[in-house]
Chain A
């Protein structure tokens, strides 16, 4: 938090962007190494057990040659990397189609769900965290804390199922699953409203499941900030307590929070697996769940690569946002 930025935001961003290619290279080596070191037969990983069992030895030999299995490891890595760069991420034997295609067509649904979920989570936890911190030690603070721990301790799938039983099966207020109605509206506005209606339950469950961390983070960093001298100054000059907390304490407490959000980006993919599979949300989480359950290694590797790339860009965005929000950074 103490580094000094004495050149423009653009330059800073550029410097961060330049760091990306080596990171990507590192990730590709790591992904390949995990795959290479795993005890799975690469041919089975590539084609799936059922297909391999039906193949003739000659066909198997051909596939082995294509995969470069006889070659030394660095050659195999280069062969693999070349394919990845050209967009050939392998073939998913459970989906019977190219991996990249299978991932990309599911990506928009996941983005919609997670951004809404995390946005909601951030808003609720900032709101509650601020109340808790400003009333630290009070009854309200303890109740909020208690509720927070309770939600944190209940597994997400249970929250999801309870929400579904209550709001769709019992009360019938909310759709139980899917991203759109089975009779999907064909015009734009009804379609948007339909998606929004289907988004409420899964996004709220996702928000609740990640709220605890955010809330605790906001609460403690605001409390921390409240101990600083500038707060004392602010109070001394007679500012209203509300302003003190929101304009001075919160703004400073927000900085580490942004970093925290950046760190949590991997959960953008991982965290929604449970929610997506309960609510039949057609996203990457559901795909990852299937790939893991049915041992589709190519798809799993693709998902690993894909989410790694997301994390890199997510962190870049967080760093840049950090630079924008930090009032101590001045640009010429």
Chain B
């Protein structure tokens, strides 16, 4: 009797399982599906912290200009533009007949509205720094298709700043921009129209039939949010999604399986240990140099980044047009020990930790706990520095606990990097003007020569002259090691090989291995199509 009940139970279970596994997911036509590790909080493109905001914007919006495959600025809402020889006056000629997704005509007033917001800086937080928009002295409407910006300074990199999205004045004027639900279902002029946001699950954008540019190849783009990497890989392998960003260590196990192609794309994102230059014992240049030479960068690159990337000695990658090859130095812990001894450090009490004036050389190294690669770097640095007698205690903290004040007053695993103009990020990181300003110049680095070179770099329009200037800056920074540079990473993606139209390009500092909506391999998703 019991056996029979058990049998029938099992049969029923099997029937249920079989019928369930026969259910085939419906094919919803030509949709590009991308799995991300993290859901965005909002789709607010002018309030962000720390990503390459003008690298590529959320596909719902358009800017006056946009960056192309070689990271040069190309026409977007502006058909053409002129820059005065001194770099102070920009005149944009706008496209005719552009419509917002709600059908209202786009106009020059929207441009003025957006740039006034940026100028005031009240509701905005734009990477690298919102405050730079304050150099816009005047915005004047020439005619209904022409707008002129007058700047107080002629800065070479400012052209890129015009890639930020234009916002609809008719929907946003007079609203509290921190709380409006516009950011939950935005309206733009871009290649895709906001369709749906299922919380905790996915965001769907559909093709803008009235797009002013080339009509997007795919009917829709879907970003699905799956925190666990193994689950994302599984979605890719089963063909449910088309593209994901992965931990470089996962690439070998999925390459070639079920038609999966791996893209390892160089990024400008570098990792370094912030050594606040105003804090004992990092106030000594020799100590910083010793630390930089005691970190086994090659090993970190091989193990944490699976060899995908390159060693960093300064803020530019070897393929960058301003890169100066003279800045490299060797991993040499023995030299580090001698340097520290010359600085007066010795292990008097025999506890394998160096002391100077009775103080142990030990410090806490903070890393953001949601970035696994930074945690691994912190642990690797701990063991490398233990070899030369420095005690490091890695401490994980959430991003909401890491305030800019904490960031610049503690040794921390930092990451920055921009693939754009060499001034971008670097001016804000190394200029003494930026000491104490937000996340910038976290080392409180101050060097008069560098300050002066940075000013010249951003105001010199001749490319060859600029190359010399940034070459000099690199030599000084590599010698000073305000932060101990470690590696540049590559961003690694796994993509269905049926996808055509992929154009890998150098990527900015961004969302880590989770992947973001912007700043990734899918920067040109409107050109992607499934074969």
Interface residues as binary, A273-285 with B (CB distance below 8 Å gives 1, 0 otherwise):
0000111101100
Check B25 against A161 for contact (C-beta < 8 Å).
no
Instruction: Give chain A residues whose Cβ lies under 8 Å from the Cβ of B404.
Output: 53
Check A190 against B23 for contact (C-beta < 8 Å).
yes
Question: Does B343 interact with chain A (Cβ within 8 Å)?
Answer: no
Chain B 369-408 interface residues, beta-carbon cutoff 8 Å to A:
370, 398-401, 403-404
Chain A residues bordering chain B, tally (CB within 8 A): 53
Check B231 against A280 for contact (C-beta < 8 Å).
yes
Check A182 against B41 for contact (C-beta < 8 Å).
no
Q: A169 with B237: in contact, given A185-B26, A186-B26, A282-B201 (CB under 8 Å)?
A: yes
Chain A 154-170 interface residues, beta-carbon cutoff 8 Å to B:
161, 164-165, 168-169
Instruction: Give chain B residues whose Cβ lies under 8 Å from the Cβ of A51.
Output: 178
Question: Does A27 interact with chain B (Cβ within 8 Å)?
Answer: no
Question: Does B234 interact with chain A (Cβ within 8 Å)?
Answer: yes
Chain B residues bordering chain A, tally (CB within 8 A): 50
Check A183 against B400 for contact (C-beta < 8 Å).
no
Q: How many A-B residue pairs have CB under 8 A?
A: 132
Q: A282 with B200: in contact, given A95-B41, A294-B400 (CB under 8 Å)?
A: yes
Whose C-beta in chain B lies nearest to the C-beta of A284? B200
Which of A106, A172, A197, A287 contacts B23, CB < 8 Å? Answer: A197
A250 CB to nearest chain B CB (Å): 15
Interface residues as binary, A68-79 with B (CB distance below 8 Å gives 1, 0 otherwise):
000000000000
Question: Does A34 interact with chain B (Cβ within 8 Å)?
Answer: no
Check A197 against B234 for contact (C-beta < 8 Å).
no
Interface residues as binary, A100-111 with B (CB distance below 8 Å gives 1, 0 otherwise):
001001100100
Instruction: Give chain A residues whose Cβ lies under 8 Å from the Cβ of B108.
Output: none
Which of B28, B49, B224, B225 contacts A50, CB < 8 Å? Answer: B49
Instruction: Give chain A residues whose Cβ lies under 8 Å from the Cβ of B41.
Output: 94-96
Cα–Cα, bound, A184→B181 (Å)? 26
Question: Does A13 interact with chain B (Cβ within 8 Å)?
Answer: no
Instruction: Give chain B residues whose Cβ lies under 8 Å from the Cβ of A178.
Output: 201, 224, 226, 235
Instruction: Give chain A residues whose Cβ lies under 8 Å from the Cβ of B26.
Output: 181, 183-186, 190
Check A177 against B228 for contact (C-beta < 8 Å).
yes
Check A280 against B225 for contact (C-beta < 8 Å).
yes
B171 CB to nearest chain A CB (Å): 17
Check B20 against A200 for contact (C-beta < 8 Å).
yes
Q: A109 with B27: in contact, given A178-B226, A277-B227 (CB under 8 Å)?
A: no
Check A169 against B234 for contact (C-beta < 8 Å).
yes
Additional pairs, 19, CB under 8 Å, beyond known A109-B200, A177-B226, A177-B232: A48-B400, A50-B49, A51-B178, A96-B42, A102-B199, A105-B199, A168-B238, A169-B230, A176-B231, A176-B235, A177-B235, A181-B26, A182-B224, A185-B23, A280-B201, A282-B200, A287-B200, A294-B399, A295-B401
12 contacts across the A-B interface (CB closer than 8 A): A51-B178, A95-B41, A161-B230, A164-B234, A169-B237, A182-B224, A194-B25, A277-B228, A278-B228, A280-B201, A280-B228, A282-B201
Q: Which 10 A-B pairs have the closest CB atoms?
A: A282-B200, A176-B234, A177-B231, A181-B25, A295-B400, A280-B226, A176-B231, A182-B240, A197-B20, A193-B23
Interface residues of A (CB under 8 A from B): 48-51, 53-54, 91, 94-97, 102, 105-106, 109, 161, 164-165, 168-169, 172-173, 175-186, 190, 193-194, 196-197, 200, 242, 277-280, 282-283, 286-287, 293-296
